[in-house]
Amino acid sequence: MKIAVLLVFTAAVCCAASCESMASFTLPGTTITSAKIVSAGAFTPPPQASPNPPDPAVFKTLPGFCRITATLKPSSDSDIRIEVWLPAAGWNGKLQSVGNGGWAGIISYPALAAAVAAGYATASTDTGHVGANAKFVEGHPEKLIDFAYRSVHEMTVAAKAMLTAYYGYTPRRTYWNGCSTGGRQGLMEAQRYPGDYDGIVAGAPANYWSHLLPSAIWPAQAVHKDEASYIPASKYPLIHDAALAACDALDGVKDGLIGDPARCRFDPKVLECKGADGPSCLSSAQVEAARKIYAGPANPRTKAEIFPGLEPGSELGWGALAGPEPFGIALDYFRYVVFKDPSWDYRKLNFDADVALADKIDSGLTNAVNPNLKDYFVRDGKLLMYHGWNDQLIAPRNSINYYNSVVKAAGAAKTAESMRLFMTPGMMHCRGGEGPDRFDAVTLMDQWLETGKAPDQMVASHSTGAKVDRTRPLCPYPQVAAYKGSGSADEAANFVCKAP
């Protein structure tokens, strides 16, 4: 009751401090560079070195908020920029910090906007450098530590302190929300700093950095082995349609999605040309390249899996890793972190010695694969992971591998109390694809913590244009959504979650 009264009171009078007064707020190692009220609909994001600049329309419907920008210097070579956005009215009493993608290097403005629009106070960091590449690593080991884990923790500590000073009380709940690098950041928080967040949403986590990035080189080596091995983008639909023909109906309904690719036994050899190469078949060299993409990299000496391969259904996105050029994030990793040679050639990557070297150099710095979440779970922390089965950048079985490692470490019962993994049929990396890719994981997490009841499904939707044309329940792994046998395959109500 006291909390409810306090929330009503603060909604009426807003804040214990003015936004402008936050400019003089002091924290160790922190310089606040500005603190200003942004009027409703008035925010315009500053220019950033981003491959995908945000749509300005995203910010036009925002409510007013106090925008605080600051620089954090936890080491002598740190230069971590953060932004903390605090709703000027209608704050829900909670903090939602948001993650990055790739090598970060930018503030995540669209994610900040989404959080504020939902009533949250929110925070984002550039992780200590500017620019979406790894050139910052050269001669700056402290900046690599900032990127790996320190910046997010330091931002979290600062954001909580600023929020408390502004509103006059601490947040009732604290959440992390991120995908890809943001997913890795979330898992790193649970593993290294279990007291930072009550609930963590980690999508498609890039958490096994030293194995994920070699796996991104693997398809490039496969299709560029020689001229005959290259699979042109014009053949991706051919392979995709064949995979669907083989495995679409395994879940009881033919709907253009492979509901559980783990059960799919598709072999691209069925497309092998009977004669000369042509647009409607694969050459024998292309068949071999496709098989390698599905298989993923293995150690050539021990035959041990290095990282899972991409799944049947992912073919329309193969151009990211198997296109004309290798994946830039992986190139940067080996050029600037592992070999410190900007001219390093991806064709030279050795999947035995070089992966071992990457593991040695990382040594738990960037990798967030520790399955011991005891300290996070013991304080009733909740972890919600999700991953698209058609992910074209991070093989989805990596999330299953991590989930299973936690089950082994914590036990099935404790894991079921504190962790959920939702595999998403037809969804690509973080979003997009033919399957339902829109869902509100943060609200589901909030309900989980408020009620104490773990979610037994997460309803997702797919839209074409502005129209929703499909809904589907996402099921907690290892359950899958099974068609009930009648009704539209585009309606979630006609599916049930059950063991495969």
Name the token pair of 88.
Answer: 């000027």
- Is the link from the previous residue into 74 a cis peptide, with omega within 30 of 0? no
Q: Which of 97, 108, 180, 283 is catalytic?
A: 180
Q: Both tokens of residue 409?
A: 């470490």
Active-site residue, 196 included: no
Give me the sign of the Cα torsion angle 296, 299, 304, 306.
negative
User: Active site residue: 391, 399, 418, 437, which one?
Assistant: 391
Pick the catalytic residue: 140, 153, 429, 462? 429
SS3 at position 82? strand
User: Is residue 391 among the annotated active site residues?
Assistant: yes
- Who contacts 139 (Cβ-Cβ below 8 Å, separation ≥6)? none
Distance between CA atoms of residues 161 and 478, nearest Å = 39
Close Cβ partners of 245 (under 8 Å, ≥ 6 residues apart): none
Place of tokens 């829109």: 438
| C-alpha to C-alpha distance for 17 and 47, rounded to whole angstroms | 30
* SS3 category, 459: strand
Which structure tokens are listed for 214?
């070699």
Strand partners, 493: none
Q: How far apart are CA 328 and CA 317, in angstroms?
A: 16
Burial 343-353 (b: 16+ CB within 10 A, else e): eeebeebebee
* DSSP-assigned beta bridge partners for residue 481: 497
Closest CA to 191 of 355, 345, 374: 374
What are the catalytic residues?
A: 180, 391, 429
